Structure 1
């Protein structure tokens, strides 16, 4: 039997020598002005921000705890400092179509000036116009126009009256209008006198009256033309007066904004609208008050009559900005991204206008960079689709979600879309990135750049020095106590363990930051000015104590015998497997008894966990490999004739992963060969069809879980754990385990094949095949081979008793001769 020695102490954990760090406290280290361990992601972000073509937005992917947000924001802010401040944006009244407010872009800082100038203009308009229309000049010209129409009317009526008198009649004004009455000798003829006249005289008078009535109708038909002419003259007078009154105000603004063509066009349109609506602006409120409340009460004042229509709604103000904007939208709802139109209640009616348009994050970040968490974006209805639609169209269209879905048909505003130029960075996990990449065809067109953040970086002397500087930077940034070199060395050891690889450093800086703060807390409790390695150890132990209630309860139940796990003696078809329970921020190892039973059958290896739907697909795959291993290694020319069952004892939850497949194979082979396995040993590892041991995860937690159980019952030097050779580089065992190993009370073995594992577990050589495919006598594999062949003979005997006897005799003779 080939001896398989335990792993030496120096291969079980990496220790950082404080003297190699070359400093006493972190106060002696310079700040690290670079992102550590994320060269690939930084290069991707740099590429994405440099690409000006459409669709090169960025998705920063990686697990939580990598400080993706901080790294991305820091990079974008540095990049934004080199870029110019984008334009201000405002909405103004559309005089052609009030339902569609116009958007105006102004140079940064001039938007607020324009808004203030228009506010002052809107405030000045009523007073300026009122003064102009109350001026003596206006009153004189207005009276002249009124007098002209009055004189024209009087002249026309006077001519009719004169002609009437010549014909013996007079023009009289009655409550019902104008009428003619006959006169004689300058006196009106009464009805009685009229009846006393001769018939001829009456006919002559009637004839004259009919003629005069026709003449009066001609004059009266001309009167509306006189009124129209008068109103036109008054309109021109009003426009001329209003034009002179506000002309100098508008001209001042036109000179101030002469370089902005769109603003000049708007001012011209506003000036024209003021002139056209001067009467409503000046007299609208007075006429409204004069009319009094209607049958339904006072009516809301029409916005068309308010000077407020000439004000400006400034939605993006970059007057204080020094560079391009960088915004992280923490609540990416539909409205917060695209903006909204608000409403106000007036007399029970919802009213709105362009002044109630509110900007969204895309407006504020237009010309810069927007950072959004993809999970939060997907959690808000239609926010993700709205963002895609906006990026695809290249413009921001403010539209309520009810309108988009067709749930609301009320009249609302349709603000003019604003051109969009923005670089969007989504933050999320890898699974979300790959799901969107495969399920959403538009995703790859809009987010072409993947910035993949790495969880690890190589452990070298240079990277350790850089990591120490990064820790010093964080310590000063958070105003913590200085850390000594031995404290930093201890933290680096925890960082290596957290990476899951003794040759790597973890870049999950969230965990590192928590450890720094907690170690500083314990230094404060000890009233120390510096944080030492002891404080780091206290922080680690305190965190484990806070989270280890379940681990202690399971360990207690196992020690009491409630959960059956043997740590001494030997048993056939029984082995100690190892698993990891992950509780989110805390994981620990848990030993589990795995048993196997075999009997004559049809070559089936039954996974009881799978049969009761407690085993996951990867676990089931590992079990299915066992059947192929048995046939290929022990009986390639004969069918398997056994029926075996495997089960995780006292396991009542789901089981996933193939890390127990080597343990299952060993216990299955033990049951076939009827050779006992040492119960003081636990085993973990995956196995392939060749019998090679494959690496698994959580190796440190698994070893420590079994060690704690053995330590609870008493270490005798025979206990240990078998792991795959490929997992040796992942070992970063806790100090309590290392001390027991150094004292010879516990051992770790690394194996390359299941044969080596069998040798350790049985204390008997597993054996290797010779040229004829036979295993040496007395080996574990020979016993397995013999029993499988015996199963085959017995199964054939049951199926064909006569031929089976002859074949059995022949095979026995051939074996004797060999």
Structure 2
């Protein structure tokens, strides 16, 4: 009994508009969470609530399933329930300028400290010059300097007096003080000194030697007196500075009594101001040099606000769109001055880890891995639980340039990476640290069951999109057509697509056509128009292929019957557009050693899956027809006029049919096309792209004229996937086209040849007139010829006429 075609009701699962519990999407509220992503939602909530280290999240799933929007929405809800984290600032370390200190402040206090320090510097710039220009300070300074001068004059005066009593003069020369003999109040020249009696010369030399010792002892005291004077002047300056700034610092200190770190910093500021008071007076040589170089003497007293959470409402949720290493962990910038690069703590810039500290950081995993050093530095920060700002590659010793070494900041963060499933599995396999740091996976599904609840949730999601973007509302028919297309997108009448990006684009395009028609609501016709227009924009290649077949350039028959020739169905994917088209497969057989030659494989055009399918059908032939004796045939299979790579096993049943046709010498109907893989038991298995394949052959038949006998054989397990175009369904309803659901190759060969397949009896023989009997007989003939060739010449009987 020949197989009957499928009923039209099985070719397309309609969504009855009357089954929808609303008149338009205006009647619906927003969906609670992402539609069909309950498993992913549970994982995200678990990761967010888990406080232990290492429970960071990787959200994996196809692009367009709403991964990012759902993650950001759930994180924002959780973040709103948490307290805002504190502020972070960098200040100068006056003992080690290259190692800036970090201060942690309560949220909103950082900007206040920065303003207070700017105010303090401004006040010091006014108060200190006034204090040092005061008459009292000048008098005290002058008194100290005069005391040093008087002390020096007294000491040298004593030496000069003793020298005068010994007729020795103390004189100043270009190289310092010197002693010289005198006579009658006049200094003797060297010639005059030589004319003196020897005893007078000896007396002068003895007196001058004694005086020289006293003079040298006095000169040695001068540096000590000067140091003492400078110390007294510094003490004076310190007293003046303290008097000038103590009330200012007391005012600031009173504002930060609850912050010991700030108290310590203000004390360090006070000590540094006293040590560098010349910068405020403008008289210090170092300050003159800084100004000459364009520097700012007061930059060291500024506060660099790295993170300011004054306006934060809860914990931060940061999405880093460009996760480079500097954007992630921060950087130290430089200024170019007079051909040199200079930097200080004011040029430290925050990274996204700083901004999200105390909250959540979301990144695209692929972008993160594409940026050098970013992935390794992120892992280092998560493991150490601190943010250490370094130049790119510095941690690996690639750069030796001197830079700042800011104090690390403690890290308390939850990181969420978003990426494809393949990327997640590759990281899990190749990076041992990945599983340690990202212990939670939120797996986003690309489809969900087509249940009434799911239909309603999908409708609510569309309603939310309509309100958010100001689109026209969808009426019942429009929403029903969107739901039908959602099943078509996943190639399953019992499922719905969760690829919200595609459905959103469909609604937006339908809105365009509804506006063009001056409609107030989006109806089914507008949705269908959007679907047709999207196909029209992308189907140039499909039309070209169909045209070449119609013109006979590519040979594909749609009527008659041929031995060893069959129509297979292939799918070509171009970007987001896929279409099916028929392909002619031929088979040739001859006596041989049981080999089935896959020509595509032999010339490296067949992929591994296609090769696997050919080997499976070879296994079926060997099991069915070679149980008692080896197969003595050779067969060749080829996709005719195919010049590109072929992969997949969806044509394996088709190749088996054409081999059976060639072996049985039975013609196969050319008005039928076939798709489906086969196992070694002859069962026909499901394949992908079934809708596109059927429509590809239907379009060719329709262009040549539907005869009523044309159709497609598909695996019975693919019936649940049928969501065919309306014109295909209508042609089947009118009996002008047919779809046959096949469970086993025996069913398929009967439809293709019109001859029963036949079942083997207890001895393994098939009934006369069946396909399998013809195949068995042909193989037996091959085997006999092979056995005859093996008989020695002497054993052969003489031929008789």
Q: Which runs of 5+ in 2 are unaligned?
A: none
Cα pair 2:390 2:405 within 8 Å, conserved = yes
Supply the distance in 2 between the matched residues of 1:316 and 1:789 (Cα, whole angstroms). Answer: 86
Is the deviation greater in 735-744 or in 383-392? 383-392
Partner of 2:547: 556
Is the deviation greater in 152-161 or in 695-704? 152-161
Is the deviation greater in 533-542 or in 178-187? 178-187
1:571 equivalent among 562, 575, 585: 562
Compute the displacement of 1:649 (Å).
0.7
Partner of 1:784: 775
- Give CA deviations for 1:460-518 in whole Å, capped at 9, x if unaligned: 12221222122111111110012111111111111111121101111100010001100
Supply the distance in 2 between the matched residues of 1:729 and 1:389 (Cα, whole angstroms). Answer: 50
Compute the displacement of 1:286 (Å).
5.3
Cα pair 1:615 1:656 within 8 Å, conserved = yes
Cα pair 2:279 2:287 within 8 Å, conserved = no
Q: What TM-score results when the alignment is normalised by the length of structure 2?
A: 0.96
Alignment of 1:492-511 (within 5 A): 492-511=483-502
Cα pair 1:60 1:425 within 8 Å, conserved = yes
Supply the distance in 2 between the matched residues of 1:212 and 1:686 (Cα, whole angstroms). Answer: 122
Supply the distance in 2 between the matched residues of 1:473 and 1:402 (Cα, whole angstroms). Answer: 46
1:346 equivalent among 295, 315, 337: 337
Supply the distance in 2 between the matched residues of 1:345 and 1:27 (Cα, whole angstroms). Answer: 60
Compute the displacement of 1:194 (Å).
4.8
- Give secondary structure in 2 for the equivalent of 1:171: strand
Inter-CA distance 351–577: structure 2 relative to 1 (3 Å threshold): same
Cα pair 1:793 1:804 within 8 Å, conserved = no
Partner of 2:61: 62
1:717 equivalent among 708, 711, 719: 708
Partner of 2:754: 763
Alignment of 1:300-379 (within 5 A): 300=293, 306-379=297-370
Residue 443 of structure 2 corresponds to residue 455 of structure 1: no
Cα pair 2:698 2:728 within 8 Å, conserved = yes
Inter-CA distance 384–577: structure 2 relative to 1 (3 Å threshold): same
Supply the distance in 2 between the matched residues of 1:804 and 1:600 (Cα, whole angstroms). Answer: 23
Partner of 2:229: 230
Compute the displacement of 1:667 (Å).
0.5
Compute the displacement of 1:794 (Å).
1.1
- Give CA deviations for 1:656-684 in whole Å, capped at 9, x if unaligned: 11111000110011111111110001110
RMSD (Å) for aligned C-alpha atoms: 1.9
Inter-CA distance 803–442: structure 2 relative to 1 (3 Å threshold): farther
2:573 equivalent among 579, 582, 595: 582
Residue 462 of structure 2 corresponds to residue 471 of structure 1: yes
Supply the distance in 2 between the matched residues of 1:60 and 1:760 (Cα, whole angstroms). Answer: 48
- Give CA deviations for 1:320-346 in whole Å, capped at 9, x if unaligned: 111111111111111111111111111
Alignment of 1:66-81 (within 5 A): 66-81=65-80
Partner of 2:250: 251
Compute the displacement of 1:374 (Å).
1.0
Cα pair 2:330 2:352 within 8 Å, conserved = yes
Supply the distance in 2 between the matched residues of 1:10 and 1:323 (Cα, whole angstroms). Answer: 54
Supply the distance in 2 between the matched residues of 1:53 and 1:184 (Cα, whole angstroms). Answer: 99
- Give secondary structure in 2 for the equivalent of 1:697: coil
Compute the displacement of 1:184 (Å).
4.9
Inter-CA distance 564–655: structure 2 relative to 1 (3 Å threshold): same
- Give secondary structure in 2 for the equivalent of 1:232: helix
Compute the displacement of 1:205 (Å).
2.8
Inter-CA distance 454–226: structure 2 relative to 1 (3 Å threshold): same
Supply the distance in 1 between the matched residues of 2:411 and 2:788 (Cα, whole angstroms). Answer: 83
Supply the distance in 2 between the matched residues of 1:191 and 1:677 (Cα, whole angstroms). Answer: 141
- Give secondary structure in 1 for the equivalent of 2:741: strand
1:682 equivalent among 673, 685, 688: 673
- Give CA deviations for 1:75-130 in whole Å, capped at 9, x if unaligned: 11111111111111111111222111111111111011111112222333343322
Cα pair 1:122 1:308 within 8 Å, conserved = no
Inter-CA distance 14–803: structure 2 relative to 1 (3 Å threshold): farther
2:414 equivalent among 420, 423, 432: 423
Cα pair 1:26 1:472 within 8 Å, conserved = yes
Supply the distance in 1 between the matched residues of 2:379 and 2:188 (Cα, whole angstroms). Answer: 91
The aligned length equals 797
Inter-CA distance 681–361: structure 2 relative to 1 (3 Å threshold): same
Cα pair 1:796 1:804 within 8 Å, conserved = no
Partner of 1:813: none
Cα pair 2:2 2:754 within 8 Å, conserved = no
Alignment of 1:146-545 (within 5 A): 146-184=145-183, 188=187, 194=193, 197-283=196-282, 289=288, 300=293, 306-545=297-536
Compute the displacement of 1:32 (Å).
2.2
Cα pair 2:668 2:752 within 8 Å, conserved = yes
Supply the distance in 2 between the matched residues of 1:630 and 1:428 (Cα, whole angstroms). Answer: 45
Partner of 1:697: 688
Supply the distance in 2 between the matched residues of 1:556 and 1:188 (Cα, whole angstroms). Answer: 128
Is the deviation greater in 378-387 or in 659-668? 378-387
Inter-CA distance 508–803: structure 2 relative to 1 (3 Å threshold): farther
Inter-CA distance 754–284: structure 2 relative to 1 (3 Å threshold): farther
- Give secondary structure in 1 for the equivalent of 2:432: coil
- Give secondary structure in 2 for the equivalent of 1:558: helix
Compute the displacement of 1:209 (Å).
2.3
Partner of 1:773: 764
Inter-CA distance 713–190: structure 2 relative to 1 (3 Å threshold): closer
Supply the distance in 2 between the matched residues of 1:45 and 1:32 (Cα, whole angstroms). Answer: 17
Is the deviation greater in 398-407 or in 564-573? 398-407
Q: Which runs of 5+ in 1 are unaligned?
A: 293-297, 807-818
Compute the displacement of 1:248 (Å).
2.2
Cα pair 1:588 1:701 within 8 Å, conserved = yes
- Give secondary structure in 2 for the equivalent of 1:544: helix
- Give CA deviations for 1:592-629 in whole Å, capped at 9, x if unaligned: 01111111111111111111111111111000011110
- Give secondary structure in 2 for the equivalent of 1:655: coil
